[in-house]
Structure 1
Amino acid sequence: MKNVHTIDSEAVPRFVADSGTEVAHARTPGHESDEARSWLKSLADRYFDALLSHSPAELPLDPQVRMTENTIAIPMGEGVLWRALTKAPEGFRVDVVDAVSEQIVVGGLLEVRGRPYLAGIRLRVLKGRIIEVEHLLTDMIQPAAWANLERPRDALLQDVPLEQRNDRVELQLIADSYFDALTSEDSRRAPFAADCVRHETGLRTTGNSTPPQLLLPQNTPADERERMQILMNGMSVRSAAEQIDSGLFADLWKVWPRRPIVIDEVKGLVAAFPLFIQNGDVRSVPLTGYPGVDRLTNPLPFSTQWLEIFKIHSGRIHEIEAPVFIPLNFGAGNGWDSGSGL
Structure 2
Amino acid sequence: MRRFFFLLAVVVMFAFNISNIFAAECDRECLIKMADDYLSALVTHTPGNMSFARDARTVENAKQIKPGEGLWKTATAGPTEFKIIVPDTFSQQVGGMVIMQSEGKPAQVGFRLKLSNGKIVEAEHLVSLLRGTEIPDTLKKVRPAIPMEIPYEYADSRGRLIHIAKSYYDAVDLNNGNLAPFADDCDRIENGYRTAPTGGHLGGVGIPGTAPRPAGLLGMVTCRSQINLQNFEYISDIVDRRVEIADTKTGLAIGFSNFRHKMDKKEYRLLNDPGRDKVERKYDPFDMIAMHIYKIWGGEIHQIDTVGVMAPFNTPSGW
> TM-score interval w.r.t. the shorter chain?
0.7 to 0.9
The answer to whether structure 1 residue 262 and structure 2 residue 245 are counterparts is: yes
Instruction: Please give the alpha-carbon distance, in whole angstroms, between the structure 2 residues aligned to 1:152 and 1:141.
Output: 19
Match of 2:263 among 280, 287, 293: 280
Match of 1:302 among 273, 286, 291: 286
Cα shift readout 1:267-321 (whole Å, capped 9, x = no counterpart): 1111000110111245975355374662344642211100100111111111111
RMSD (Å) for aligned C-alpha atoms? 2.4
> Is 1:92–1:151's contact at 8 Å kept on the other side of the alignment?
yes
Q: Which amino acid aligns with 1:96?
A: V
Please show how residues 1-342 of structure 1 align to structure 2 within 5 Å. Answer: 36-79=27-70, 81-141=71-131, 146-208=136-198, 237-281=220-264, 285-289=269-273, 291=275, 294-297=278-281, 299-322=283-306, 324-336=307-319
Instruction: Please give the alpha-carbon distance, in whole angstroms, between the structure 2 residues aligned to 1:179 and 1:261.
Output: 14
> Is 2:83–2:96's contact at 8 Å kept on the other side of the alignment?
yes
Structure 2 counterpart SS, 1:52: helix
| Long gaps (5+) in structure 2 | 1-25, 202-218
Using the aligned pairs only, state the percent identity. 31
> Is 1:251–1:278's contact at 8 Å kept on the other side of the alignment?
yes
Structure 1 counterpart SS, 2:284: coil
> Is 1:281–1:298's contact at 8 Å kept on the other side of the alignment?
no
Q: Which amino acid aligns with 1:152?
A: V
> Is 2:149–2:251's contact at 8 Å kept on the other side of the alignment?
yes
Larger radius of gyration: 2
Structure 2 counterpart SS, 1:241: helix
Q: 1:293 to 1:142 in 2, by over 3 A?
A: farther
| Long gaps (5+) in structure 1 | 1-34, 212-235, 337-342
Q: Which amino acid aligns with 2:301?
A: I
Instruction: Please give the alpha-carbon distance, in whole angstroms, between the structure 1 residues aligned to 2:197 and 2:47.
Output: 43
Structure 2 counterpart SS, 1:318: strand
State how many pairs are aligned: 277
Alignment TM-score, normalising by the size of structure 2: 0.81
Q: 1:145 to 1:115 in 2, by over 3 A?
A: closer
**Higher RCO structure (Cα 8 Å, ≥6 apart):** 1
Q: Which amino acid aligns with 1:289?
A: D
